[in-house]
Amino acid sequence: MSHRLQIAGPALAIGLLAMTFTAGAAAEEVTLTDQGLTLNANLETTGADWQQGPVVLMTHGTLAHGGMEIMQTLQSALLERGISSLSMTLSLGLDNRSGMYDCAVTHTHLHTDAVGEIGAWLGWLQSQGVEEVALLGHSRGGNQSA
């Protein structure tokens, strides 16, 4: 069973303030293959039982990546409050993409391509035993996550 939650700013802030830090936190680079492309993400977990709590699935903005400063800061803030998160890097049609998308490169990806990749990461989280997922998107990633 999967749960799709959308958390607005004030609700997220209240929820974060109510949480406490969890010992045993870990960070891990995760990859999966979807539509012939290697997808990348950074998983920040609260400990060995991270699947028991909600996990925030994070989508970055236009041409950016899951490791950009704002995404790292959000992951750190969530972790400090005992919330695990997965910050993905959308492929934008490129295999094993990391870092900012070069604007000089011809764009062949579509805005809606993100939906399949978000779904692939939701499936991966489910395969790990996660039952509660909140979607968080920065900029265009918010639209794609909705």
Task: Give the model's pLDDT for residue 97.
Answer: 85
Domain 24-145 CATH (choose: 3.55.50.30, 3.40.50.10740, 3.40.50.1820, 2.40.50.1040): 3.40.50.1820
CA distances from 31 to 15, 23, 38, 78, 82 (A): 29, 25, 6, 21, 23
117-139 pLDDT, tens digit each: 999 999 999 999 999 999 999 98
* Report field, pTM of the whole predicted structure over 0.85: no
**Average pLDDT over every residue of 50-70:** 90
List beta partners, residue 31. Answer: 40
Name the residue with higher pLDDT: 114 or 3.
Answer: 114
Task: Give the model's pLDDT for residue 66.
Answer: 85
Q: Compute the chain's Rg from CA coordinates.
A: 15
pLDDT category of residue 23 using cuts at 50, 70 and 90: low
Task: Give the model's pLDDT for residue 108.
Answer: 79
Task: Give the model's pLDDT for residue 18.
Answer: 36
